[in-house]
């Protein structure tokens, strides 16, 4: 030691309070902080340990919130280092995204898929369709454009000793180029900068770039080394017992692919190559993939992966591109397809339709277009039934990107803003400011019409990477919706605070999903009061949103008279109400004949709810799929429903039906 004294290393045990644990962003920041010190720093977690200066090694420890770890430091500035690093780990906000975000997070989409018909349905004249998830409404028929990445291979495995320097330089060029291209031109996720930084730090780490350079120095071809290192590092991530960290493997596969493409002079197919309208067939697409295309040349999208709630589905809907996702065929089946017909409303796809079929299908497309144009006259109509009842037709939205589509059809406000979609398809939970920006933006866009923001409804069929859901045998009957929120004020309160702040606009309403008991409403009211008190103390302006609940459990329907005095409005979630009343899983195509919102049991429940609500002087909306179904609209109005809320694509048709009813 330079000062001549004997120094022993320092060890401190710390309980990790970092919200959601040391995932990519906090791990990157933690490693960055560690590098400010000259001492060596180790993190011990159970029987494993890692160098605190390596973000990748830290991530691979899979440290979760509430885990106990030991910090071990050895060197001149060890006490300072341990003190600062322990402080970092003790802060729930450590590694959180920056508070001011330019853009609202746009993560995912809209509608729960309508029940898929039990049996394959015949097309106009031809074979039964393949049935996937209806992700964006509309019909299309035409040439296929198959967009599947080719498997990559190194052209050789090893190099001669005299080639090593040139090979290192070749790798460095390809690597820098690939990293520069990582910045997606079409990114709508607000915390992109921090995410990109975490991604870059993984790419530049000793475990990725460092290891590749070591292998090249030992005589390995750069592409071969990159493929090997990428595969093995991704495999390490795939074994982590944390869903979010496990999915970092995809990032590593992505970087590996980009570097190898540059090294081998190959190019991935690009949608930029589309020069005429085609039906794009793919396994999956990313938003940047789509951004490179002229969307006018995408007649429809068919993917073997993805869901109606994916980021891509929302973009497809906002561009009016019919889309079917999750088509149950192997990717290889897509290769060689020449002609495709797509019904995005039903989720039906036909490969190689006959010319007679194509003719009929094209006629249907023409009719649909004429029909849509004829509906335009209803845009500014505020529909009233023949008997003189005013019915509000509002839109269901999942992201601000859908605002324009809803306004374009004259939606009279938002009857359901599914906030959980802001929490999905991203790497960290959105913070209060980000949520406030979004709620404020949506409310402003529809003022003075009401905008109903539903509080987080995750669990069951809707897991979120940032929230650790325990395994449940019956997740649909489990810890979901408001149940989870009440137990996790750390997740719920930022949302409530954002809602209260947005409510200064006057048209913001809050709505609680999955209510089964009056105590849940009272619990949330207490949390709202707590948030209001905090905001007052902090001198932050806020308003008082109207508070409503979703009626989607049989318990809520049966006790609607007890719940009504507690709230300002009801909105019936027929998607869930039908599944719970009928005891028929909404996602199980084999139960489609039972899963019917027009079943007398469901209709009776709706009638009871309307009666109880009106007796208490509050209004009832329906925001499940049934609200848009032409054969249900009249029945719902007849039962007393005051508002129907639906996908923007169905608004004009619903207005017409109401006017004619």
Residues contributing to the site for ligand PEP (CB under 6 A): 112, 416, 418, 457, 552, 573-576, 623-624
| Nearest Cα to Cα of residue 352 among 332, 336, 368 | 336
Q: 28 to each of 75, 195, 211, 455, how far by Cα in Å?
A: 22, 10, 19, 31
Q: From CA 250, how far away is CA 259, in angstroms rounded?
A: 14
Q: DSSP for 528-586?
A: HHHHHHHHHHHT------EEEEEE-SHHHHHTHHHHGGG-SEEEE-HHHHHHHHTT--T
Tokens of 54: 């390596």
Residue burial 312-336, b: 16+ Cβ < 10 Å; e: rest: bbbbbbbbebbbbbbbeeebeebee
Q: Which does 278 bind (CB under 5 to 8 A by kind): ligand PEP, Mg ion, none?
A: none
Report, in Å, the least distance between residue 421 CB and ligand PEP.
9
| Active-site hit among 23, 45, 192, 311 | 311
Classified as helix, coil or strand, 4 is coil
Residue 608: how many other CB atoms lie within 10 Å: 17
Cβ closest to Mg ion, residue 229 vs residue 416 = 416
Is the CB of 62 or the CB of 573 nearer to ligand PEP?
Answer: 573
576 marked ligand binding residue: yes
- In a 13 Å sphere around the CA of 201, the CA atoms on its Cβ side amount to 23
Task: Please choose, from the candidates 385, 267, 414, the residue with its C-alpha nearest in 3D space to the C-alpha of residue 638.
Answer: 385
What phi and psi, each to the nearest 5 degrees, are found at residue 162? -70, -10
Neighbours of 268 (CB within 10 A): 13
Residue 248 marked in a binding site: no
Distances (CA, A) of 2 to 300, 370, 448, 579: 70, 85, 72, 72
Distance between CA 58 and CA 96 in Å, rounded? 17
Residue numbers at the binding site for Mg ion (CB under 5 A): 552, 573, 576
Q: Annotated catalytic, 599?
A: no
Q: What's the token pair of residue 527?
A: 């949390």
CB of 530 to ligand PEP, least distance (A): 26
Rounded CA separation 326/306 (Å) = 5
Closest approach of Cβ 497 to ligand PEP, in Å? 23
Q: Which residue, judged by CB position, is nearest to Mg ion in the bound state?
A: 576
If the CB atoms of residues 195 and 547 are measured against ligand PEP, the closer one turns out to be 547
* Rounded distance between C-alpha atoms, residue 63 and residue 90, angstroms: 13
Closer residue to ligand PEP, CB minimum distance, 215 or 509: 509
454 or 497: CB nearest Mg ion: 454
| Of residues 353 and 573, the one with the C-beta less far from Mg ion | 573
Q: Whose Cβ is closer to ligand PEP: residue 576's or residue 619's?
A: 576
Residue 440 interacting entry, from ligand PEP, Mg ion, none, C-beta within 5 to 8 Å by type: none
Least distance in angstroms from the C-beta of 416 to ligand PEP: 6
Largest CA distance in the chain: 96
* Count of residues making up the chain: 661
Judged by DSSP in three states, 296 sits in: helix
Provide the minimum distance between the beta carbon of 475 and ligand PEP in the complex, in angstroms, as a whole number. Answer: 13
**Least distance to ligand PEP from the beta carbon of 175, Å?**
43
Q: Binding residue per annotation — 552?
A: yes
Residue 454 counted as an annotated binding residue = yes
Pairing of the two strands 348-351 and 339-343: antiparallel
Q: Residue 601: how many CB atoms within 10 A of its CB?
A: 12
Output the smallest distance, CB 56 to ligand PEP, in A.
37
Helices (H), 139-191: 164-180
Closer residue to ligand PEP, CB minimum distance, 584 or 623:
623
In whole angstroms, the minimum distance from the beta carbon of 559 to ligand PEP comes to: 18
311 among known catalytic residues:
yes
Q: Out of ligand PEP, Mg ion, none, which partner does residue 584 contact, by CB within 5 to 8 A per kind?
A: none
Nearest CA to 588 out of 119, 101, 118 is that of: 118
Q: Identify which of residues 215 and 418 has a Cβ nearer to Mg ion in the complex.
A: 418
For residue 592, the minimal CB distance to Mg ion (Å) is 18
574, interface contact from ligand PEP, Mg ion, none, CB < 5-8 Å by kind:
ligand PEP
Structure tokens given for 21: 């644990």
Rounded Cα–Cα distance for residues 611 and 625 (Å): 21
167 binds, among ligand PEP, Mg ion, none (CB under 5 to 8 A by kind): none
Q: Do 349 and 302 contact (CB within 8 A), yes or no?
A: yes
Give a three-class secondary structure readout of 258-285: HHHHHHHCCCCCCHHHCCCCEEEEECCC
Positions at the binding site for phosphoenolpyruvate: 418, 454, 575-576, 586
Catalytic positions, written as ranges: 311, 623
Positions at the binding site for Mg(2+): 552, 576
């Amino acid at each position: 030691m330079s000062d001549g004294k004997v120094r022993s290393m320092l060890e401190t045990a710390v309980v990790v309070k970092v919200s959601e644990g040391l995932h990519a962003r906090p791990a990157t920041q933690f490693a960055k902080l560690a590098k400010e010190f000259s001492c060596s720093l180790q993190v011990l977690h159970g029987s494993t340990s890692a160098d605190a200066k390596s973000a990748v090694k830290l991530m691979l420890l899979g440290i979760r919130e509430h885990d106990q770890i030991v910090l071990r430091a050895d060197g001149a500035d060890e006490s300072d280092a341990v003190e600062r690093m322990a402080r970092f780990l003790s802060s729930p906000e450590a590694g959180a995204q920056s508070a001011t975000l330019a853009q609202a997070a746009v993560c995912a989409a809209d509608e729960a898929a309508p029940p898929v018909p039990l049996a394959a349905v015949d097309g106009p004249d031809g074979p039964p369709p393949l049935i996937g998830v209806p992700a964006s409404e509309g019909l299309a028929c035409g040439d296929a454009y198959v967009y599947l990445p080719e498997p990559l291979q190194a052209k050789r495995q090893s190099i001669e000793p005299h080639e090593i320097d040139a090979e290192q330089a070749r790798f460095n060029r390809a690597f820098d180029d690939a990293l520069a291209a990582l910045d997606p031109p079409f990114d709508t996720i607000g915390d992109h900068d921090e995410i990109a930084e975490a991604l870059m730090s993984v790419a530049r780490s000793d475990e990725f770039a460092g290891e590749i350079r070591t292998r090249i120095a030992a005589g390995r071809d750069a592409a071969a080394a990159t493929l090997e290192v990428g595969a093995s590092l991704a495999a390490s991530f795939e074994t982590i017992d944390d869903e979010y960290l496990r999915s970092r493997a995809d990032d590593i596969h992505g970087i590996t692919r980009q570097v190898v493409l540059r090294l081998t002079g190959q190019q991935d197919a690009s949608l930029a190559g589309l020069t005429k309208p085609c039906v794009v067939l793919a396994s999956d697409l990313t938003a940047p993939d789509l951004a490179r295309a002229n969307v006018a040349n995408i007649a429809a999208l068919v993917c073997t992966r993805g869901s109606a709630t994916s980021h891509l589905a929302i973009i497809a809907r906002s561009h009016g591109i019919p889309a079917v996702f999750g088509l149950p065929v192997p990717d290889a089946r897509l290769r060689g397809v020449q002609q495709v017909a797509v019904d995005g409303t039903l989720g039906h796809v036909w490969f190689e339709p006959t010319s007679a079929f194509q003719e009929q299908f094209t006629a249907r497309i023409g009719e649909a277009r004429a029909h849509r144009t004829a509906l335009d006259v209803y845009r500014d109509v505020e529909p009233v039934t023949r008997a003189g009842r005013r019915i509000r037709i509002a839109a269901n939205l999942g992201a601000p990107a859908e605002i324009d589509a809803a306004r374009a059809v004259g939606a009279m406000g938002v009857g359901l803003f599914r906030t959980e979609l802001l929490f999905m398809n991203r790497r960290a939970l959105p913070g209060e400011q980000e949520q406030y920006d979004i709620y404020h933006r949506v409310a402003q866009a529809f003022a003075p019409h009401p905008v109903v923001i539903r509080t987080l409804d995750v669990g069951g069929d809707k897991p979120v990477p940032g929230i650790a859901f325990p395994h449940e045998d019956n997740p649909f009957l489990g810890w979901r919706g408001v149940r989870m929120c009440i137990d996790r004020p750390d997740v719920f309160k930022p949302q409530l605070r954002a809602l209260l702040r947005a409510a200064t606009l006057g048209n913001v309403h809050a709505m609680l999903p999955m209510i089964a008991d009056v105590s849940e409403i009272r619990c949330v009211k207490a949390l709202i009061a707590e948030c209001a008190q905090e905001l007052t103390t902090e001198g932050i302006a806020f308003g008082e949103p109207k508070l409503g609940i979703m009626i989607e459990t049989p318990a809520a329907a049966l006790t609607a008279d007890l719940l009504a005095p507690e709230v300002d409005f009801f909105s019936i979630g027929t998607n869930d109400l039908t599944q719970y009343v009928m005891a028929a899983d909404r996602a199980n195509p084999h139960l489609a004949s039972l899963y019917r919102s027009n079943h007398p049991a469901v209709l009776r429940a709706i009638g009871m709810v309307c009666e109880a609500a009106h007796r208490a002087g509050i209004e009832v909306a329906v925001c499940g799929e049934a609200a848009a179904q032409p054969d249900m609209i009249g029945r719902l109005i007849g039962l007393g429903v005051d508002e129907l809320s639906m996908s923007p694509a169905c608004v004009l048709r619903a207005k017409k039906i109401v006017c004619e009813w």
